[in-house]
Amino acid sequence: MPKIIILENYPATLDAIKMIFEFEGYEVLALSGPQNLHTLVSDFKPDIILVDALLGLTDGRSICTELKLSVHAHIPILLMSSQMNFITNPHIAVHWDDYIEKPFEMIAMVNRVKMLLTKKVSQD
């Protein structure tokens, strides 16, 4: 069973994404904030992490950077954002594996996650 961490501060969106991935057979750890994230990642050992780009006062891109520059660099990250320019700004270093624009179709999200997991398996 694949494991996924979802980091999203909007409760309704977090619950919807969590339910979809549980229905798809994933073991899900749903987080509304980045507190203790590195410890949780170490303990849960996810196969993939979904991060919202805007987490209240926290920039989700910086969380991606922290993860990709740590021992967790091998874990694929899918960044979610409702602001396309937030993602494609040429002055921002890209430390995520893929992104999806909100609002998104849940099937598109599931397919994007499956693609990243398939890519990870082929690289391992």
69-109 pLDDT, tens digit per residue, is 999 999 999 999 887 665 566 556 678 898 898 888 999 99
Q: What is the mean pLDDT of residues 56-72?
A: 91
Output the pLDDT for position 94: 72
22-34 pLDDT, tens digit per residue, is 999 999 999 999 9
Q: Encoding tokens for residue 59?
A: 């920039």
Looking at 15-24, 57-66, 86-95, which range is the least confident one? 86-95
**Mean of the per-residue pLDDT values of the chain:** 90
H helix or E strand, kind and range, residue 16: helix 11-23
CA 17 to each of CA 4, 6, 22, 72, 89: distance values in angstroms, whole numbers, following the listed order: 11, 8, 9, 22, 26
Count: domains in the chain = 1
Confidence category of residue 122, pLDDT binned at 50, 70, 90: confident
CB 23, CB 71: distance < 8 Å:
no
Output the pLDDT for position 101: 87
Output the pLDDT for position 92: 62
List CB contacts of 13: < 8 A, sequence separation 6 or more. 52, 102
Please give the backbone phi and psi of residue 17, each rounded to the nearest 5 degrees, phi first: -65, -40
CB 50, CB 6: distance < 8 Å:
yes
Q: pTM for the whole thing?
A: 0.92
Output the pLDDT for position 70: 95
**Distance between CA atoms of residues 123 and 36, nearest Å:** 28
Percent of the chain with pLDDT over 70: 92
Residue-number span of the structural domain to which 47 is assigned: 3-123
CA 48 to each of CA 7, 75, 82, 89: distance values in angstroms, whole numbers, following the listed order: 11, 6, 20, 24
Find the radius of gyration of the CA atoms of the chain.
13
CATH of residue 41: 3.40.50.2300
